[in-house]
A and B are shown apart, each in its own frame.
Chain A
Amino acid sequence: MLTKPAHKPKRGFTPDIIVVCLICLLPLLWLVWRFLQNDLGVNPVETLVRQLGVWGLRLLVVGLLITPVARIFKQPRLIRWRRPVGLFAFAYVALHLTSYIAVDQFFDWGRIWADIVKRPYITFGMIAFVLLIPLALTSFNAAIKRLGGVAWRNLHKLVYVIVPLGVLHYFLLVKADKTMPLVYGGIVLVLLGWRLWRWIRRKV
């Protein structure tokens, strides 16, 4: 006799996914609100660019956190949260870059190119952004089906390179107090270390 699976895998915008999306949207809404209230501080352009970048990095880190939490606490449903969190991370990073180009540099392409070529922190930031694009473009079911699960999963392992690049980007632009970039670096190290440890255990 056939037994029904305990629960059908859920798809689409289930309530938990909607909540995750709304939470990811909050920092952006808060920034827009502060912008409209003229409350972005003395140097609003800097605040805007920085905040978008920091939230992009935070969501990337949260994205890396989901798998370990799901495995350790045996909550496989959480795995589905990676997609909205990752896509929102991409959105924040894209807005971060857009605000740098449009608001900070005001489309001064010559200067922007010089920045990309000459300034390591911008070089690393740009590489991280470019590497994020294929991940964002393949974040829907049809892409997974077309690529095949293994190829898709391998492609998305790029995030193990992207997040450290993001931390490096942050680390290199700070003038003296490296505390915050080091905190992010430490968290990322633990999250990647956990994966490495599991990988080694599987091999042995």
Chain B
Amino acid sequence: LTGKLSGKKTFWTNEAQTPREAVTTYNNFYEFGTDKSEPAKYAAALTTRPWTIKLDGKAAKPQTVDIETLLKGALEERIYRLRCVEGWSMVIPWIGIPLADVIKRAEPTADAKYVAFESLARPKEMRGVRSPVLHWPYVEGLRIDEAMNSLAFLAVGLYGDLLPNQNGAPIRLVVPWKYGFKSIKSIVRISFTNKQPSTSWNLSAPDEYGFYSNVNPTVDHPRWSQATERRIGEFRRRDTLMFNGYGDNVAHLYKGMDLQKYY
């Protein structure tokens, strides 16, 4: 299960890429422990084959997709900024497929207003799941128009290699204009719903983590400021950009919404 991946280069930034060493050893993946060094230590226990994703809910063609099928398709390479809600950021070269391509397979119906995502929760292999620090399985969600946005991406690799387990193997979401915890890892299920789905962090602390969680320097986390961030590898903090700098692509999704209220 190794091998080089490559794909058409689509979304791009010329900013310095965060070293692979940092990207693969500094992870928030609570299924393997709450310390950022733990996923790199313990995620090797995870079996990522066979792996399927169940597409269900309000869709004309609910189905189960095999990871191999997705890996055989046309892959894209994208270099995205990733901004963690904790105030640090990285620049990561991902490889994967547009989320919209996978959604279209299931043909969601007109009343599919939201997309709900679910991670694997396998206590035997994921030691973090044995303690109730968060709602397991980890769940996340997007509005369907957010999910269909061309920036929303399902990554299967980074730095030209298959995704390391600690980064959410074999397939994870990447929504670069939202805080990192929205980018759910090791996805086993994608459901279409007419109601806003629950999300693990919102269930854990509703006043701190909203459903939208767009990167927004003007809306502080109740316990720390979101105005600045430390890019991993840099010494000085830098200003955080609205929508993590992806406003041109996504600002229209939130037109007329009070982003203080829908944080």
Quote the shortest CB–CB distance from A28 to chain B (angstroms): 21
| In-complex Cβ contact of A176 among B88, B133, B227 (8 A) | B133
* Cβ of B130 under 8 Å from chain A: no
Residues 70-88 of B, flagged 1 when their CB comes within 8 A of A and 0 if not, give 0000000000000000101
Contacting residue for B230 out of A45, A111, A114, A173, CB 8 A: A45
The docked-state distance in angstroms from the alpha carbon of A81 to that of B7 is 64
Closest to A115 in B: B225
Q: Once the chains bind, are A105 and B232 in contact (CB under 8 Å)?
A: no
Whether the Cβ atoms of B223 and A119 lie closer than 8 Å is: yes
* Contact between A42 and B22, CB atoms less than 8 A apart: yes
For B88, give its contact among A43, A120, A121, A177 (CB under 8 Å): A43
Q: Is the CB of A118 within 8 A of B230?
A: no
> Is B204 in contact with A176, judged by CB distance below 8 angstroms?
yes
Q: Which of B30, B205, B225, B232 contacts A43 (CB 8 A)?
A: B232
Task: Kindly list chain B residues whose C-beta atoms are within 8 Å of the C-beta of A173.
Answer: 223-224
Which chain B residues border A105 with CB–CB below 8 Å?
237
Where chain B touches its partner, the secondary structure class is loop
Does chain A have a CB within 8 A of B34?
yes
Known: A105-B237, A176-B133, A177-B133. A43 touches B230 (CB 8 A): yes
Query: Is residue A106 within 8 Å, beta carbon to beta carbon, of the partner chain?
Result: yes
Taken together as a complex, chains A and B put the C-alpha atoms of A105 and B228 apart, in Å, by 10
Chain B: CB-nearest residue to A45:
B230
Looking across the interface, which residue of chain B has its beta carbon closest to that of A176? B133
Question: Which residues of chain A are near B227, meaning CB under 8 Å?
Answer: 111
B25 touches A42 (CB 8 A): yes
B86 partner residues in chain A, CB cutoff 8 A: 175
Residues in B neighbouring A119, C-beta threshold 8 A: 223-225
Within 8 Å by CB of A106, from B30, B205, B220, B237, lies B237
A172 contacts the other chain (Cβ, under 8 Å)?
Answer: yes
Residues of B within 8 A of A114 (CB): 225
- B26 contacts A121, CB within 8 Å? no
- The reply on A27 being an interface residue by CB < 8 A is no
CA A115 – CA B223 in complex, angstroms?
9
Please tell me if A76 contacts chain B, counting CB pairs below 8 Å.
no
Q: Would you call A41 an interface residue if the criterion is a C-beta within 8 Å of the partner chain's C-beta atoms? A: yes
In contact, B204 and A42 (Cβ under 8 angstroms):
no
21 interchain pairs (CB within 8 A)? A42-B21, A42-B25, A43-B232, A46-B230, A103-B235, A104-B237, A105-B237, A106-B236, A108-B237, A111-B227, A115-B224, A115-B225, A118-B220, A118-B225, A119-B224, A120-B223, A121-B223, A173-B223, A176-B34, A176-B133, A176-B204
Given contacts A45-B230, A46-B88, 8 further A-B contacts (CB under 8 A): A42-B22, A42-B25, A104-B237, A106-B236, A115-B225, A118-B225, A173-B224, A175-B86
Closest 8 pairs (CB-CB, A-B):
A42-B26, A177-B34, A42-B22, A177-B133, A176-B133, A42-B232, A106-B236, A119-B223
